[in-house]
A and B are shown apart, each in its own frame.
With several copies, the nearest count.
Chain A
Amino acid sequence: GSGEESGSEGTGGEASKDIKLGATAGPYSDMLSKAIVPGLEEKGYTVELVEFSDYIQPNVALDGGDIDANLFQHTIYLENFEKENGMDLSALITVPTAPMGLYSNQYDSLEAIEDGATIAIPNDPVNGARALLMLQDEGLVELDPEAEVLQASERDVITNEKNLEFQPIEAGQLPRAVDGSDLAAVPGNFAIAAEMDLLDALALENMPDQYRNVVAVNAENEGSELAKDLVEIVESAEFEAVIDEEFEGFGKPEWMAE
């Protein structure tokens, strides 16, 4: 009952077709503006892009109705966020996502990594956990199986054969940290922004779909006109064309690869 009521409110809001989309500064904001906004405008929307320089506020704003949709996070992050904050948001569709990579100016292969090397990892929990999982996948560390996948931190490392020394820093700073430390786990979006070549990575994250970014809306609006339009645009051929042209190296989700 109540869902439908607020749904109709949502529809009322759409009547004006003035919408706000949120993203963090970087490629996903660009993806919105280059690959999605043109489609929306074609459908008669007036779109305002809000760029955030942090990972919390885009969801807070989405929940509060300050923005209508966002694109910056993957499914696991979204779900965890919903749980932590008691919010009801929903992912509409996954989009191509740049994988996190392990970069180094010191070593040219994983094998060359020396004992006690320093490694810069993101200091926000989600990206931090991602980095650790990537290291685990590459056999560099082992994480406590009891640790929550999404919250895993340096303290959950139970074996660390090369005695890697973790240095959590702000994610946006990581590309610059490749110089400052032996290794750096750089999220794909920042690596691309910093014009790093994804192919230079010692390792790229193995990226299941739940680690790919999604277009998210408030759960109330899951069935709204806007939601439908967003999905339609992302699924369109124009979208994929823009991705191929301007977002090289972004790993496409399963549905797109099909």
Chain B
Amino acid sequence: MGVEWGRIIELWPEIQTAFFQTLTMIGISLAVALIVGLPLGILLFITDRGLFLENRPVNAVIGFIVNIVRSIPFIILLVALIPLTKLITGTTIGPIAASVSLSVAAIPFFARIVENSLREIDKGVIEAAIAVGATPWMIIKDVLLPEAKASIIQGVTLTIISLVAYSAMAGVVGGGGIGDLAIRFGYYRYDNTIMIVTVVILIVLVQLIQQAGDYTAKAIDKR
């Protein structure tokens, strides 16, 4: 399993491209997961039993959909979503197209994380806000989100790391990215150098994301 430095230099442009593809996929799908998953997670929480917008049917339906999407193997999701992907991005291949499936997979994942983060908030603080006569929207904006901020950021970290893992499967639709490079060169072409390099890049990437997440979560927490 020797590492040939020459090979790394030779394939450096490819590695760079893959790196940016990974960033693209994660960037897009993270953004979608945040934009859609956050409200969904909040909805899951506030419509639950005993909460201020308790609504059992809405809660059950969202919960069910979230569970279903989480049950489907990613590759099947990828296939099932081809029409949607085509509709949204106009293409079914490449990193942008892959981002559609990644987003769909990330939304329920992140929604559950948000829900769990919100559950950690002291119920008393929410009650105090209700007692003060705050509107549901104020409670969400000024109590739930600020109080769960640090925990949600940890959840974003976890989502990013899961997306890194999932994006390795994006090769199926030509999404490219570091994980796919590892599979194509390391696995199909027996290029141990590239395999090791890409795996190291992945490990470093994951560690950096983890540390950045930990640091941010700690830094913004006022407790």
Contact = CB atoms under 8 A, between A and B. Distances in A.
A58 B92 CA distance: 10
Interface residues of A, number: 41
B32 to A, nearest CB: 20
B130 to A, nearest CB: 50
A45 B184 CA distance: 26
Interface string B164-200: 0000000111101000100111011110000000000
A20 B58 CA distance: 46
A176 B82 contact: yes
Contacts of A194: 190
A179 B92 contact: yes
Interface string A12-55: 00000000001011100000000000000000000000111111
A67 interface: yes
A151 B176 CA distance: 19
B9 to A, nearest CB: 14
A56 to B, nearest CB: 7
A198 B140 CA distance: 58
Nearest to A64: B92
Contacts of B190: 84-85, 175, 193-195
A246 B187 CA distance: 21
B108 to A, nearest CB: 24
Contacts of A52: 93, 171-174
Interface residues of B, number: 22
Main secondary structure of the interface of B (DSSP, over half): helix
A66 B188 contact: no
Contact of B188 (A53, A120, A169): A53
Contacts of A175: 190
A216 B79 CA distance: 22
A251 interface: no
Contacts of A66: 91-94, 97
Interface string B206-220: 000000000000000
Contact of B184 (A51, A57, A173, A177): A51
B188 A181 contact: no
B181 to A, nearest CB: 9
B174 A179 contact: no
B92 A190 contact: no
A167 B86 CA distance: 16
Contacts of A50: 93-94, 174
Contacts of A55: 188
Contacts of B189: 25-26, 125, 151, 193
Contacts of A140: none
A137 B175 CA distance: 28
Contacts of A120: 93, 174
A64 B91 contact: yes
Contact of A167 (B79, B174, B188): B174
Contacts of B188: 24-26, 53, 55-56, 123-125, 172, 190, 193
Interface string B74-112: 000001001001100001111001000000000000000
Given A56-B187, A84-B190, A193-B190, A180 B171 contact: no
A25 B184 CA distance: 6
A164 to B, nearest CB: 14
A200 B172 CA distance: 24
Contacts of B174: 22, 50-52, 57-58, 61, 120, 123, 167-170, 173, 177
A60 interface: yes
Given A53-B183, A125-B188, A180-B97, A170 B91 contact: no
Interface of B: 79, 82, 85-86, 91-94, 97, 171-174, 176, 180, 183-185, 187-190
13 contacts: A25-B183, A51-B184, A53-B184, A61-B93, A66-B92, A85-B190, A167-B94, A170-B173, A170-B174, A176-B79, A179-B82, A190-B188, A194-B190
